[in-house]
């Protein structure tokens, strides 16, 4: 899958995946969403972002999880 809005640059945030070359890591956007913020609230806090940026950060995170196995605890 290709991501147009997620970029990596060793000179920006040490190469951490960011939104459109901004110093806003995709993981920060995903964490804000996971903490219960809406896309509108995230954009209000980070006004350089667009709704498409938030959506792509979530798609990127979903793809990253698909790429590897995570250990899950079994419940009885």
Chain segment 3-34, per-residue pLDDT in tens: 999 999 999 999 999 999 999 999 999 999 99
Confidence of residue 69 (pLDDT cuts 50, 70, 90): low
Q: What is the pTM of this model?
A: 0.85
Q: Cβ(6)–Cβ(57) under 8 Å?
A: yes
Question: Quick one: tokens of 68?
Answer: 């590897």
Confidence of residue 56 (pLDDT cuts 50, 70, 90): very high
Q: Quick one: pLDDT at residue 72?
A: 66
Q: How far apart are CA 43 and CA 46, in angstroms?
A: 5
Those residues whose C-beta lies under 8 Å from the C-beta of residue 49, and which sit 6 or more positions away, are 19, 22, 24, 29, 42, 43
Alpha helices in the chain (DSSP H): 26-34, 39-45, 51-66
């Amino acid at each position: 899958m290709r991501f147009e809005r997620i970029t990596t640059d060793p000179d920006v945030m040490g190469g951490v995946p960011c939104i459109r070359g901004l110093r806003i890591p995709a993981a920060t956007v995903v964490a804000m969403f996971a903490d219960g913020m809406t896309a509108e609230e995230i954009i209000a806090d980070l006004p350089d972002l667009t709704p498409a940026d938030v959506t792509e950060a979530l798609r990127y995170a979903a793809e990253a999880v698909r790429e590897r196995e995570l250990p899950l605890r079994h419940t009885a």
